[in-house]
């Protein structure tokens, strides 16, 4: 999987979750990393982790910031070859308890921003008459979910539908669009999210890994990153409109491993 000579823009790369794994994998594959995060400080801190990475701060849910991100990217490379829409936030709140502000916050970051960034990326690709690849970060929650996640699941379901639509609309102009849907990925930010509904998140992760996955591994951010890099690379030139789950088989299981035990 070789991204040498390709500039890849990754949104939400400043944390320790999937976005960071994508950044690490892009650099590992030889790509020029253009890393976005919400503030100048976070973007610069993220870029400082990697050789020759370029920080691109901005709020990807705001059209003006999106335009500035792409304009800044153009000053550092001739063409942005790939976009990874990794910026996202979570919500653990049952639908009847949620406020309009919760719904708007989730959908602005997890859905609207994906469309805004994809639109800007597609426009620059069409103008340059260059191929392009978009990879959106979805979630297994778009397929099967838990109590408290319905609004989040709805936003990720929208991301997957948008992914298919973009693939169909722009495939004849050599622009591909796919999505990666991770299961539980080990990171500090996900541990913090689990504390919203369990007093012992580490024990929950251990139980989930052992009983609710076909493969007994904890998914690391770099695992997701390497899958993203494959989809960005020329090796995936015939792959578009696909949702690829990286969940150690959790969505394939009908019951947990204790099923049938007394």
Those residues whose C-beta lies under 8 Å from the C-beta of residue 172, and which sit 6 or more positions away, are none
Query: Are the CB atoms for 83 and 94 separated by under 8 Å?
Result: no
Sign of CA dihedral 201, 206, 208, 213: positive
Those residues whose C-beta lies under 8 Å from the C-beta of residue 187, and which sit 6 or more positions away, are 15, 16, 17, 18, 20, 221
Q: Rounded to whole angstroms, how far apart are CA atoms 205 and 224?
A: 18
Query: Are the CB atoms for 248 and 223 separated by under 8 Å?
Result: no
Report CA Rg, the chain.
Answer: 18
Cβ neighbours, 10 Å, residue 154: 19
List the Cα angle 56/58/64 in 5-degree steps.
Answer: 115
Q: Rounded to whole angstroms, how far apart are CA atoms 108 and 84?
A: 17
Query: Are the CB atoms for 201 and 27 separated by under 8 Å?
Result: no
Q: Distances from the Cα of 214 to the Cαs of 64, 211, 249, in angstroms?
A: 44, 8, 5
152 belongs to the catalytic site? yes
Place of tokens 């400082």: 48
Identified catalytic residue from 50, 149, 152, 184 = 152
Q: Rounded to whole angstroms, how far apart are CA atoms 18 and 138?
A: 11
Annotated catalytic residues are: 152
């Amino acid at each position: 999987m070789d991204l040498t000579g390709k500039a890849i823009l990754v949104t939400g790369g400043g944390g320790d979750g999937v976005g960071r794994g994508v950044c690490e994998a892009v650099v590992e594959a030889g790509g020029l990393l253009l890393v976005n995060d919400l503030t100048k400080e976070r973007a610069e801190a993220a870029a400082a982790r990697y050789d020759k990475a370029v920080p691109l701060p901005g709020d990807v849910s705001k059209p003006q910031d999106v335009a500035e991100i792409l304009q800044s990217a153009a000053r550092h490379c001739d063409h942005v070859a790939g976009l990874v829409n990794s910026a996202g936030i979570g919500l653990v709140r049952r639908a009847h308890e949620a406020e309009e502000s919760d719904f708007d916050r989730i959908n602005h970051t997890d859905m609207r921003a994906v469309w805004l960034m994809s639109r800007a990326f597609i426009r620059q690709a069409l103008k340059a008459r260059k191929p392009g690849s978009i990879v959106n970060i979805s979630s297994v929650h778009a397929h099967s979910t838990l109590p408290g996640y319905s609004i989040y699941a709805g936003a990720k379901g929208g991301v997957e539908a948008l992914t298919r639509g973009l693939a169909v609309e722009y495939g004849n102009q050599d622009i591909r669009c796919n999505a990666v849907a991770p299961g539980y990925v080990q990171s500090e930010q996900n541990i913090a999210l689990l504390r919203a509904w369990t007093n012992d998140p580490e024990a929950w992760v251990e139980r989930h890994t052992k009983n609710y996955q076909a493969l007994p591994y904890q998914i690391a951010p770099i695992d997701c990153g390497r899958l993203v890099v494959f989809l960005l690379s020329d090796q995936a030139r015939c792959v578009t409109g696909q949702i690829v789950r990286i969940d150690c088989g959790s969505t394939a299981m009908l019951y947990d491993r204790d099923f049938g035990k007394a």
